[in-house]
A = this chain, B = another copy of it.
Amino acid sequence: MPAAAQYPAATVKPEPEQRIVERHLRQRGFRWTSQRALIVRTALATHDHFTADQLLLRCRRSDPRVSRATVYRTLTVLEQAGVVAGLETGDGGRRFEHVIGHDHHDHMVCRVCERIFEFCDQELERRQEAAARRIGFRIERHSLRIHGVCRACQRGRQDG
């Protein structure tokens, strides 16, 4: 939704995100198949951080024939194409989020409710770059995850 800001002022209506993804993939020589359309549509409709398996199940509600392998292969393609980003939750699990039209952000993971909160701090990024520069390391990406307990879980529903 904040994607609109990235279009020239003249463009009144931004293209639907799905089209952007399609173009993204085609430009990189990937084919646009009905399965990929379904998987992308489903992933874009999902606002939380989903696992591969959750995505598979959601896709199968629309078409029970999608195979698990295709979902995994498509997630790999989408990750390469910069459409989704994988993130590790710290308990060995892998989750994904779509990044089209989203700014970079980091995550706080609540141990109690398992919800994931996004936050962003430019200064944080700058300090990382400075630290890297100090040892001549070239940053390509980074992953910052803060674990703890969210505000809601601190009052009342503390533990399980």
Contact = CB atoms under 8 A, between A and B. Distances in A.
Interface in A125-143: 127-128, 130-132, 134-143
A121 B149 CA distance: 23
Interface in A102-159: 108, 110-111, 117, 119, 121, 123-124, 127-128, 130-132, 134-151, 154
A25 B104 CA distance: 41
B132 A148 contact: yes
A88 interface: yes
Contacts of A90: 88, 143
A94 interface: yes
B127 A123 contact: yes
Contact of A151 (B110, B123, B135, B147): B135
A146 B149 CA distance: 24
A92 interface: yes
Given A124-B128, A128-B124, A131-B124, A136 B150 contact: yes
A149 B140 contact: yes
Nearest to A88: B88
Contact of A147 (B117, B142, B145, B154): B142
13 contacts: A90-B143, A117-B137, A121-B127, A121-B130, A121-B131, A124-B124, A124-B131, A137-B151, A139-B146, A141-B147, A142-B145, A143-B144, A143-B147
